[in-house]
Structure 1
Amino acid sequence: MPDPVDPPVPAISARDEPRFGSAERKGALAAAFQSQGEDYDRLRPGYPPAVLDAILAEVSGAGPRAVDLGAGTGKLSWALAQRGLAVTAVDTSRAMLETALRRGPSADPDAGSAPAAPTLDTLSTLATQVAPAEATGLPDSSAELVTVAQAWHWFDAEAASDEVTRLLAPGGVLALVWNILDVTIPWVHRLSRIMHAGDIHREDFTPTVGPGLALASRSVHQWEDPMVTGDVIDLARTRSYVITAPEERRAKVLANLDWYLHDHLGHAPGSTVHVPYRTDLFLYRVTGSL
């Protein structure tokens, strides 16, 4: 529901990619998600069918294999598995992958009992590998598709690119995906500012990848995620800025969101808000295979 009182949207972002200040700050923010598996899975949006269609249209081979790097709670992993791919979800957080196993169809309630060392746990068409994206430990040429959703900016781009080129079978595809609040809409722009959403990209943003990968195509998909107002407020709890903030600052962010949604925009508590998103999809192939 656009608010005519909100000011016009300024330039979306001056950033090519998220900025972290230091490697230590980047590591701290990345680690913050590890205890947020259940909330992240419940509140963060999935990926629209059009995005999955665009990815799979570029993947060849019968019963293709996929590796989902930085898979988190497996939102994209399971979406691909349900399209018939054999998927390995890779993440450094065992807790996030355990959430992925619990949320999937026929999930094993005892999936969290594996040892702490990197291992491979198979569940139906989904497997999990506890490992960094830059060194997965998976075999060479083990995937026709490698995906990264909401996570590429957390990796060492050069090392992760090298690992992707090693993992991809001949003719394989890398898909980098971001769900981003559609801040071209004034009320959403203000919502993102109050929420401290740090993943807003400039319009001409392209990810940094290593020289072994070449951009094949880019597409933007616009859609809406219906959420009750309380969940929109809680969505801020899954943002790294809010997770790592002192309690007083965190409470202020949540109170400001409550005011903005219920008082300023006039939504009744518990009513449904259709939150506009855009999904940016970048497809790459190994250099020389285009």
Structure 2
Amino acid sequence: MPPNVLPLHTLNPLGRFSDRAQDYARYRPGYPPEAIAAILADMGDPRSLVVADIGAGTGISSRLLGDRGPQIIAVEPNAAMREAAEAHPQVVFQPGTGEQTELADKSVHIVTCCQSFHWFNAPLALAEFSRILQMGGRLALLWNDWDLKDSGTAAYYQIIHAVATRAIDHRDHTQALKAVEQQTEFSRVRHLSFAYGQTLTLPEVVGRSLSSSYIPKEGRAHLQFLDASAAWHGAWAAIDGTVTLKYVTNLYLSEKVAT
């Protein structure tokens, strides 16, 4: 971790999204079908699986997983995020954190952390995941990362970077992976990546950005962000007024191999 950068789990992870829940529910991207399929692959009949989606937010990943048949326990500490979640027949929300899920020992087949693991105290969360996972159960860490090889996306990332209230580099998952590798209860991490895109209008781009906790919602930096976003949209939008932000979806898989 770079010097003078505080661990994210110390930056109010339980409350900092409370005023962003509606933007999060409306504008955050989903995940590619191939990534969701890989999380469930080789785990048996999906309808027999129980998945704990930790840090579930408004249930974007929970619903995508639930569409394939498993029972999903969406664990989310923030009440505003839980309340903004769209209902799904396979998904049940409950309060809890990565470090204290409130789930029973050996009660789930898969633990997923989709765009959330970086907010946890990694050693404590991994101990908790080991406790609730059955032997042979799977841990899946998933992130949508900016594809900076795409010129339009790279240009928008520079706008975000200029106004962000904390350091952002979601492409670097070194610390998270090192934490998993240091736990003898888990197997060696496997990495899969997938191309993904989100096609948005200008208001949707702004809403997607405001769903992130590091984008200011008022003041000079907020106005700078709005002006720069409008200029960017004018330069990169297609004739129908939409722009596609490109992502690399990174998936890291490991199994529980010891108690």
TM-score bracket relative to the smaller structure = 0.7 to 0.9
Give, in whole Å, the separation in 1 of the partners of 2:63 and 2:22.
16
Q: How many Å apart are 1:128 and its aligned residue?
A: 1.4
**Matching residue's letter, 2:54:** L
1:34 maps to amino acid: S
Residue pair 1:215, 1:282 contacting (<8 A) in 2 also = no
Corresponding residue number in structure 1 for 2:50: 65
Q: How does 1:35-46 map onto structure 2 within 5 Å?
A: 35-46=19-30
For residue 35 of structure 1, report the CA deviation from its aligned partner.
Answer: 2.1
Structure having the higher Rg: 1
CA, structure 1 residues 288+53, in 2 after alignment: closer, same or farther (shift >3 Å)? same
Residue 254 (structure 1) aligns with: 226
Instruction: Check if 1:178 corresponds to 2:155.
Output: no
Query: Cα 1:76–1:25, aligned 2, differ >3 Å: closer, same or farther?
Result: closer
* Partner-residue secondary structure (3-state), 1:214: coil
1:153-178 CA-partner distances (Å, limit 9, x unpaired): 10000000000001111211010000
Match of 1:281 in 2: 251
1:1-290 map, 5 Å: 21-22=5-6, 26-28=10-12, 31-60=15-44, 63-100=48-85, 103-105=86-88, 124-196=89-161, 198-202=168-172, 207=177, 208-209=179-180, 210-211=182-183, 212-243=185-216, 246-262=218-234, 264-265=235-236, 267=238, 271-288=241-258
Identity score, percent: 28
Q: What value does the CA root-mean-square deviation take over the aligned residues?
A: 2.6
Q: Any conservation in 2 of the 1:195–1:257 contact (CA below 8 Å)?
A: no
Single out whichever of 62-71 and 153-162 deviates more from structure 2.
Answer: 62-71
Distance 1:241 1:27 in 2: 11
What SS is found at the alignment partner of 2:29? coil
Alignment check: 8 A CA contact 1:233 1:258 kept? no
Q: CA deviation at 1:25?
A: 8.6
Q: TM-score, normalised by structure 2?
A: 0.86
Q: Unpaired runs of 5+ in structure 2?
A: none
* Compared CA separation, residues 258 and 25, structure 1 to 2 (3 A): farther
Paired with 1:35 and 1:23, the residues of 2 have a C-alpha distance of: 22
- 1:148/1:175 contact within 8 Å kept: yes
**Alpha-carbon distance change, 38 to 267 in structure 1, aligned in 2, over 3 angstroms:** same
Post-superposition shift, 1:60? 3.0
Distance 1:49 1:25 in 2: 29
| Alpha-carbon distance in structure 2 between the residues aligned to 1:174 and 1:219 | 14
How far apart are residue 237 of structure 1 and its match? 0.9
Task: Note if contact 1:229-1:267 (Cα within 8 Å) is conserved in structure 2.
Answer: no
1:34-78 Cα offsets, whole Å, 9 max, x none, are 221111011110111111111110423551000000000000111
CA–CA separation in structure 1 for the residues paired with 2:8 and 2:176:
24
- Structure 1: which 5+ residue stretches go unaligned? 1-14, 106-123
Q: Distance in 2 between matches of 1:57 and 1:252?
A: 45
Distance 1:49 1:213 in 2: 25
**Residue pair 2:8, 2:120 contacting (<8 A) in 1 also:** no
| Contact 1:222–1:277 (Cα < 8 Å) also in 2 | yes
Of stretches 143-152 and 220-229 in structure 1, the one that deviates more from structure 2 is 220-229
What amino acid does structure 1 have at the position aligned with 2:231? W
Corresponding pairs, count: 250
8 A Cα contact 2:14 2:78, kept in partner: no
Distance 1:63 1:203, change over 3 A: closer
